[in-house]
Structure 1
Amino acid sequence: MRHYLGIDIGTFESKGVIVDEKGRIVASASKPHRMLVPRPGWAEHRPKQDWWGDFTFISRKMLAESGIAPETIRAVGTSAIGPCMLPVDGEGEALSNAALYGVDTRAATEIEELDAAIGPERILDRCGNALTSQSVGPKILWLKKNRPDIFRKAARIVTSTTYLVQKLTGKCVIDHYSAANFSPLYLIDRQGWSTELAPDIIEPERLPRVTWTTDIAGEVTARAALATGLAKGTPVIAGTIDAAAEALSVGVVRPGDMMVMYGSTIFTIMLSRKRIADARLWHAPWLFPGEHASMAGLATSGTLTHWFRDLAARELGPDQAFAKLAKEAEASPPGAKGLVMLPYFSGERTPIHDAKAKGAIFGLNLTHSRGDLYRALLEGIACGTNHIVETYREIGEMPKKLLAVGGGTRNRVWSQATSDVSGLAQTVCAKTVGASYGDAFLAALAVGDVKKKEIRDWNPEARRIVPDRGNRAVYRRQYRIFRQLYERNRDLMAELS
């Protein structure tokens, strides 16, 4: 029997699966961890504990509980949150906590400086992306300016998946999809590192070697085998960012397919036949040569549900609290009795790219309940998701098929509101495990045991979420107020910053 192991490191939890050659999950495990917020606008992980510690725990747990012989695992795939910024020494050991993806907005000043020096139009043209809180280049510059001792010691600056692969194999690599987030250091036309736009940030040799996602980065070393329980010599792919693996896991393989990932953030990926160049969205080479991806993402989504749970339902355990809140939200009518929430609790990423944006709860009165507030929160995230969809509509690149994935698909109010606000149906596949399942499929693909289109055999469609036409009027009003609430208060939000 052939097996494939996939492990993904998320914002709040890591998950792993072992999959057989038919795509059946034969083992799974997970481990929670925390996101650190040492200062407003900062978001960090501890790589040794939260990334490598989770990986080794999950790998050993799955092998021990399933009884699967490590030698039957044909290849290992891994993904992680990204893009992150992590300085490491010559042995690949972390020199500090990792600055996370776009939810970490510490480099706002550096973004302004680089935009002024290079020009936003030139950056978009050469890099495929405007500089935003998602960009790693400005965060490296922040490190250089604010932590010069760590910057000098750093042999390389890496992202999360690179760190894991290096711990497993000793090789320091990054896939093109992840590297494209290192603007202005990765040029889309060259598909590689360059100091042409920004010669003073960092030398290219201090960045990982760029390769494709399913390229074999190396093999599990003896040291890593001891830590993980895997067999020495097992092939390890270069891997990618979690959202990309998650998109593949639900069959995003054709131009026009769009994943909507309900996770700690809402993240969308749409495949296209050509590059989509729009400063409000992100672009990257897809996981395979010659293919293109266009991305968008909110800053706080599932993260916001955790915040509300801890604030308003702390008397209950985590699982009980979410169940109770979901029930109360269902009891509140569509439109949450006139409440509108802006989910910009850590600035916002696409499409407004405003690190100074603030969260807001608008329309409160003495009749509102906890359930109304929670429903308004979920509907606010749905409105933010529709803002992304409308951006694609404006540039003539509407998605042909929405494939929903992630834990939020189990939240009926959240997923239904997303379809109701956007007017688009969503498809949910049989397996909603997410990125770790995609990692296992990528591992099988890398060693030639499957073809790309077979992911739809591994994970067939299970159900559809169809818009409720009866809610169209109320959500049209809610969305209009949602958009105007930000536009009319943007200057005041900036003043608070």
Structure 2
Amino acid sequence: MAYTLGIDIGTYETKGVLVDTAGTVHAQASRGHQMLVPQPGWAEHRPEEDWWGDFVFVCRALLQDSGVDPAEIKAVACSAIGPCMLPVNASGAPLMNGVLYGVDGRAEAEVQELTNRIGEDTIISRCGNALTSQSVGPKILWLKRNCPELYAETSHILTSTSFLVQRLTGEVVIDHYTAANFSPLYDVKTQSWVDDLADDILPLDKLPRLLWSDEIAGHVTPTAAKAAGLAPGTPVTAGTIDAAAEALSVGVDQPGDMMMMYGSTIFIILRAQSQVSDPRIWYAPWLFEGEHASMAGLATSGTLTHWFRDHIARDLDPAQAFPTLANEAAASPPGANGLLMLPYFSGERTPIHDIHAKGMLFGLNLTHTRGDMYRALIEGIAHGTRHVTDTFAELGQSPKRLLAVGGGTKNALWLQATSDITGIDQIVCEKTVGASYGDAFLAALAIGAVRRQDISMWNPTDRTITANPTADYDTAHALFLRLYEQTKDIARDIG
């Protein structure tokens, strides 16, 4: 038998899967970790413990549980949360914790300064994206200004996936899809690193070598093999961001295919026909040369359900809390008896890009129940999602197929509310393993063991969530949008 290995580092958990070249899963493993919030607006991971330590643990667990000989693993692919910012020294050792993606807003001042200096139109034209908390360039400038000693010692700036690939192979690489988030240091037209927009951020030789995600970055070194239990010389792909691997896992391949990932955040990827540049959404080259993708993401989604369980439903057994809350919410009618929730508990990413946005539960009276509140929370996330899908529609990018994936697909209320509020049917595939499964497919693709269209056989359709034609959320959605607009100045002023 021939196998491929996929491992994904998520915000709160690392997951891995061992798959044969027919797509059969032979072992799964996971390990949890925390997102560190050292101060409001910051979000970090520990690279040694949360990224490499988790990779080693999960890899060894997969080998032990499956009994597969490491020599039978023909390729490895990694994905991870992204885009992150991690400075490393000449020996590849991290100089600080990894600064996470758009949930970390520490570089707000640098985002504004660079935008004013370069001009938003120029940035969008050259980089494909407006500068936001998702952008890595401003975070590197923040490092230079606030941690000059660390900046001076920096040999390379890595992201989470490139850190793993470096540990496995010794190669310092990054895939184009991830690199597009390094604005204003990546030009989407030339698909290369550039410094003519801002030459004071970082010398370009401190950025990783660019590859496509189906290219082999290098091979497992003897040191990495000893640590992880792999065979020396095993090919390792360039990897990518977790959401892209997750999209691949459910068959996002043709223009018009859209993935909606239900996780700690909602993340959306649309395989676009051509480059679509708009400040409300993100653009990147897709995983394969000559292809395009448009992206969007909410800042807090599944995280909110955990917050609600931990703080509003403390009386419930944690093991049964979510089914109980779902039953309570199901007893509340659509519209949650007039409650509206803004799901901006960590600011918001697309389409408003407002790190000062705040969460809000509006319309409470003495008749409301916990079920009403939980339904309002689920519907609030769905309204935030519709704000994104409506933005895509305005840009002429409505999906032809929407494929739902992630742990949240087990939440029937969340899925149905999202279809009812957006008006879009959703396809759920048989396997909801997620990004690690997409990694395993990408590894097989990189060594020529499968073709791209084979993903439909690896992961066929299981069911379709159909939007209820009688559901009328238009008025509630208009109020949702007004509620943000009429309170955003207050949200900014209270800090």
In the aligned structure 2, how far is the partner of 1:320 from the partner of 1:203?
52
Structure 2 letter corresponding to 1:418: T
Instruction: Provide, for residues 199-229 of structure 1, a one-character-per-residue CA deviation record: whole Å limited to 9, x for no partner.
Output: 0000111111111111111111111111111
Structure 1 letter corresponding to 2:108: A
Q: CA deviation at 1:58?
A: 0.5
Q: CA deviation at 1:316?
A: 4.3
Alpha carbons of structure 1 residues 96 and 477: separation in structure 2 relative to 1, 3 Å: same
Bigger Cα displacement from structure 2, 333-342 vs 317-326: 317-326
Q: CA deviation at 1:427?
A: 0.2
Instruction: Provide, for residues 401-437 of structure 1, a one-character-per-residue CA deviation record: whole Å limited to 9, x for no partner.
Output: 1000000111011110000001110000000111000
Paired residue for 1:429? Answer: 429
Structure 1 letter corresponding to 2:463: R
Alpha carbons of structure 1 residues 154 and 426: separation in structure 2 relative to 1, 3 Å: same
Paired residue for 2:56? Answer: 56
Paired residue for 2:217? Answer: 217
Q: CA deviation at 1:152?
A: 1.2
Structure 1 letter corresponding to 2:480: F
Structure 1 letter corresponding to 2:266: I
In the aligned structure 2, how far is the partner of 1:121 from the partner of 1:307?
38
Bigger Cα displacement from structure 2, 270-279 vs 438-447: 270-279
**Could you say what secondary structure the match of 2:320 adopts?**
helix
Paired residue for 1:477? Answer: 475
Paired residue for 2:35? Answer: 35
Structure 2 letter corresponding to 1:185: L
Q: CA deviation at 1:319?
A: 3.2
* Aligned positions of 1:155-166 closer than 5 A: 155-166=155-166
**Could you say what secondary structure the match of 1:278 adopts?**
coil
Q: CA deviation at 1:155?
A: 0.9
**Could you say what secondary structure the match of 1:481 adopts?**
helix
In the aligned structure 2, how far is the partner of 1:328 from the partner of 1:60?
41
Instruction: Provide, for residues 155-185 of structure 1, a one-character-per-residue CA deviation record: whole Å limited to 9, x for no partner.
Output: 1111000000011111110000000000000
In the aligned structure 2, how far is the partner of 1:51 from the partner of 1:307?
24
Instruction: Provide, for residues 118-175 of structure 1, a one-character-per-residue CA deviation record: whole Å limited to 9, x for no partner.
Output: 0000000000000011000011111111111111111111100000001111111000
Q: CA deviation at 1:372?
A: 1.6
In the aligned structure 1, how far is the partner of 2:140 from the partner of 2:319?
38
Q: CA deviation at 1:477?
A: 2.0
Paired residue for 2:360? Answer: 360
Structure 2 letter corresponding to 1:30: S
Bigger Cα displacement from structure 2, 148-157 vs 79-88: 148-157
* Aligned positions of 1:159-308 closer than 5 A: 159-308=159-308
- Does 1:493 find its partner at 2:491? yes
Q: CA deviation at 1:39?
A: 0.9
Instruction: Provide, for residues 464-490 of structure 1, a one-character-per-residue CA deviation record: whole Å limited to 9, x for no partner.
Output: 000112322xx2222111100011112
Q: CA deviation at 1:230?
A: 0.8
* Aligned positions of 1:354-433 closer than 5 A: 354-433=354-433
Structure 2 letter corresponding to 1:77: A
Structure 2 letter corresponding to 1:36: L
Alpha carbons of structure 1 residues 317 and 58: separation in structure 2 relative to 1, 3 Å: farther
In the aligned structure 1, how far is the partner of 2:440 from the partner of 2:487?
45
Structure 2 letter corresponding to 1:87: P
**Could you say what secondary structure the match of 1:269 adopts?**
strand
Structure 1 letter corresponding to 2:232: K
In the aligned structure 2, how far is the partner of 1:337 from the partner of 1:273?
41
* Aligned positions of 1:31-180 closer than 5 A: 31-180=31-180
In the aligned structure 2, how far is the partner of 1:139 from the partner of 1:329?
40
In the aligned structure 1, how far is the partner of 2:372 from the partner of 2:150?
47
In the aligned structure 1, how far is the partner of 2:155 from the partner of 2:304?
36
Structure 1 letter corresponding to 2:27: A
Paired residue for 1:438? Answer: 438
Give the unaligned 5+ runs of structure 2: none
Q: CA deviation at 1:369?
A: 1.9
Paired residue for 1:336? Answer: 336
Instruction: Provide, for residues 59-92 of structure 1, a one-character-per-residue CA deviation record: whole Å limited to 9, x for no partner.
Output: 0001011101111101001100000011111122
In the aligned structure 2, how far is the partner of 1:431 from the partner of 1:270?
20
In the aligned structure 2, how far is the partner of 1:308 from the partner of 1:92?
40
RMSD value, Cα: 1.0
Q: Percent identity?
A: 62
Structure 2 letter corresponding to 1:53: G
Structure 2 letter corresponding to 1:462: D
Q: CA deviation at 1:315?
A: 4.4
Structure 2 letter corresponding to 1:482: F
In the aligned structure 1, how far is the partner of 2:46 from the partner of 2:365?
42
**Could you say what secondary structure the match of 2:347 adopts?**
coil
Q: CA deviation at 1:26?
A: 0.5
Paired residue for 2:324? Answer: 324
**Could you say what secondary structure the match of 2:471 adopts?**
helix
In the aligned structure 2, how far is the partner of 1:247 from the partner of 1:358?
29
**Could you say what secondary structure the match of 1:469 adopts?**
coil
Q: CA deviation at 1:317?
A: 5.0
In the aligned structure 2, how far is the partner of 1:366 from the partner of 1:154?
57
Structure 2 letter corresponding to 1:367: T
Paired residue for 2:9? Answer: 9
In the aligned structure 1, how far is the partner of 2:317 from the partner of 2:66?
29
Equivalenced residue count is: 495
Bigger Cα displacement from structure 2, 17-26 vs 91-100: 91-100
In the aligned structure 1, how far is the partner of 2:260 from the partner of 2:351?
15
Q: CA deviation at 1:313?
A: 2.6
In the aligned structure 2, how far is the partner of 1:324 from the partner of 1:445?
42
In the aligned structure 1, how far is the partner of 2:190 from the partner of 2:327?
52
Structure 2 letter corresponding to 1:496: I
Q: CA deviation at 1:273?
A: 1.5
Q: CA deviation at 1:331?
A: 2.2
Structure 2 letter corresponding to 1:155: S
